[in-house]
Structure 1
Amino acid sequence: MRDLGVGFGYLMKGQRWVAQHGKQYGVSLLPGLITLVLYAGALVALALWGSDAVGWATPFADDWASPWRGYFRGFLTVLLFGLALLLSVLTFTAVTLLIGQPFYESLSEKVDIAESGHAPESGLPLWRELWISARDSLRVVVRALLWGVLLFGLGFIPVVGQTVVPVIGFCVTGFFLVEELTAVALQRRGVELRERLALLRSRKQLAWGFGTPLAVVFLVPFVAVFLMPGAVAGATLMARDLLGENGSEDDGASAGAGQDSDAATRRMPLT
């Protein structure tokens, strides 16, 4: 249970860090604002023309008697918009990180330098880093969507679907948010997706403590824009913890686990 508080503490430390570095914070807001405008435009377009798209996709209902045709297409329109909102929540972080890769890399490096005096580098060209980030983000989004479909189906179970399932949903979303955010720092250290997921699974409560409250507030994309820089800074601090780089801030057990992970990381090629 201690790790829940530690994870939430990293989230708060990240927000404090960017608050103390105003210039870095201002620059890091740009990717989130760009993504917000793109998503808002797409959702507005869907709200305006979603019913037309549903009508075009369901020609077999043209001859249905009223009001069943309207009910059917209205339900599909609402479902389409709801799925679009879910997809926007699941992908907002990934798309923002992809658009803002250079900005967030710079922010993460500055956090590393502030903590230890140096920042690990991948040694890869920018285009290669962008390709790896896009590839890994797509893999994570696919995993998140599979979980989303499963939880959506479980949501129809009486009582459990309206109580337990939403809580699980926030925990799952938070876990994948943490993976996306820590990837900024861990990718520079040559830690690949499979190893990143293994690190987070080994300390699920740490990931939940950081990611679950973030998943709740990220339901409002406008809020997500302003919290994203601090989330990247806090995730960098968490990545250092996962790899045992925080020294005295870790307890013995955490440091031992991190050292093992760090040793495994050093043996991995930067691909």
Structure 2
Amino acid sequence: MREAAAGFGYLFNGQRWVARHGRWFGIGLIPGLITLVVYAGALVGLGYGADDLAAWATPFADDWSSPWLGLLRTTLTVLVFAFGLFLAVITFTAVTLLVGQPFYESLSEEVDRAEGGEVPVSGLTLWRELWISARDSVRILVRVALYAVLLFALGFVPVAGQTVVPLIGFCVTGYFLAEELTAVALQRRGMVLKDRLVLLRGRRLLILGFGVPLGLAFLVPFVAVFLMPGAVAGATLLARELVGQGDDTDDEGDDGEGEAMLPSTSPHTVND
């Protein structure tokens, strides 16, 4: 549990970092606000249409007697909306990071700079970075979609579908949220998706401690927008820990007055 607590600590420290650097907090809000407007409209539409979708998907139940017809379609409507909300939480981060690539890249670099030592840079053009980010996000979302379909099916299992399955869903959500967010800093360190996943699997509790509370917070309307700048900052601090560049100074080093003990590294180029 110490690893999980440490992961939550990075999430908290990231929020504290942007609170101390108000300009970067304001800059980091812009992509989230744009994405929120789009997603809010999509979820409202899903909320209005989920019952019609449930009725369309279950024509075989039209002649069922009460209460079985209502129970089936109500359950399916709830599951459809929960499935959409699950995907929204996961894809919100990916889309926001893609929209805000230049903003969050600069924010992540500033966190590295404030923590001391060399600031890794990818050396790639903005369009190349956008392409790699979009491609990797699609690969992650395919993995998430497979989990989502499996969990959706398991949701019909009595008792476990209403207790254990949601817990697993939150863990999956948190894990991949952490992957998307740490990618901003790890891509600048030359790590491709395959290497990043291997790195994260080696510290699962640390990653879940960071990602699960964030995923739960993202379920609250508007919270995701305001947490995104701090989440990127915290993920950068987490990435430093994962690659052995954790700051050995106290929190006063946030303003760049202290120097962290960092290994001597050179900027890498992200490979295709």
Residue equivalent to 1:125: 125
Distance 2:149 2:8 in 1: 28
Distance 2:35 2:177 in 1: 16
Measure the CA separation in 1 of the matches of 2:14 and 2:222. 18
Supply the distance in 1 between the matched residues of 2:196 and 2:48 (Cα, whole angstroms): 40
Q: Whole-Å Cα distance in 1 between the matches of residues 141 and 234 of structure 2?
A: 21
Counterpart AA for 1:95: V
Question: What does the per-residue CA deviation read over 1:118-138, in whole Å, with 9 as the maximum and x for residues that have no partner?
Answer: 421101110110011011111
Paired with 1:18 and 1:228, the residues of 2 have a C-alpha distance of 10
For residue 213 of structure 2, what is the aligned residue in structure 1? 213
* Superposed displacement of residue 150, structure 1: 1.8
Number of aligned residue pairs: give it. 258
Task: Give the Å deviation of 1:82.
Answer: 3.4
CA shift, 1:27, in A, is 1.1
Q: Deviations over 1:140-179 (max 9, x none)?
A: 1111121122222333333333333222221121111100
CA contact (8 A) 1:36 1:221 kept: no
CA distance in 1 between counterparts of 2:82 and 2:209 reads: 27
Residue 138 of structure 2 corresponds to 138
Alignment of 1:230-245 (within 5 A): 230-245=230-245
Aligned partner of residue 248 in structure 1, secondary structure: coil
Task: For residue 270 of structure 1, report the CA deviation from its aligned partner.
Answer: 3.6
* Structure 2: gaps of 5 or more residues: 250-261
- Is 2:24 the partner of 1:18? no
1:161 counterpart residue number:
161
CA distance 1:181–1:270, shift in 2 (3 Å): same
8 Å CA contact 1:122, 1:270 repeated in 2: no
**Aligned partners of 1:223 and 1:123: how far apart in 2?**
33
Partner AA of 1:175 in structure 2: Y
Whole-Å separation in 1 of the counterparts to 2:227 and 2:270: 33
CA contact (8 A) 1:28 1:104 kept: yes
SS at match of 2:248: helix
**Deviation sequence 1:46-65 (CA, Å, 0-9, x none):** 3445566777x66x959x56
Task: Using the aligned pairs only, state the percent identity.
Answer: 61
CA distance change for structure 1 residues 49 and 204 in 2, over 3 Å: closer, same or farther?
Answer: closer
What does 1:20-99 correspond to in 2, within 5 Å?
20-48=20-48, 61=59, 78-99=78-99
Question: How far is 1:97 from its partner?
Answer: 0.8
Root-mean-square deviation (CA, aligned residues, Å) is 3.0
Note if contact 2:188-2:270 (Cα within 8 Å) is conserved in structure 1.
no
Contact persistence 2:184–2:236 (CA under 8 A): yes
Amino acid paired to 2:91: T
Q: Tell me the alpha carbon deviations over residues 5-42 of structure 1, each in whole angstroms, 9 at most, x when there is no partner.
A: 21111111100000001111011101111111001112
Which stretch of structure 1 is more off in the superposition, 190-199 or 83-92?
83-92
Q: Would you say 1:152 and 2:158 are equivalent positions?
A: no
Amino acid in structure 2 at the alignment position of 1:216: L
Q: Distance in 2 between matches of 1:131 and 1:29?
A: 22
Write the distance in 1 (CA, Å) between the matches of 2:152 and 2:194.
26
Q: So what's the TM-score if we normalise by structure 2? A: 0.83
Q: What does residue 228 of structure 2 align with?
A: 228
Q: Check the 8 A contact 1:33/1:225 in 2, yes or no.
A: yes
**1:201 paired to 2:201:** yes
The answer for the alignment partner of 2:254 in structure 1 is: none
Q: For residues 49 and 153 of structure 2, what CA distance do their matches in structure 1 show?
A: 27
Deviation at 1:76, TM superposition (A): 5.7
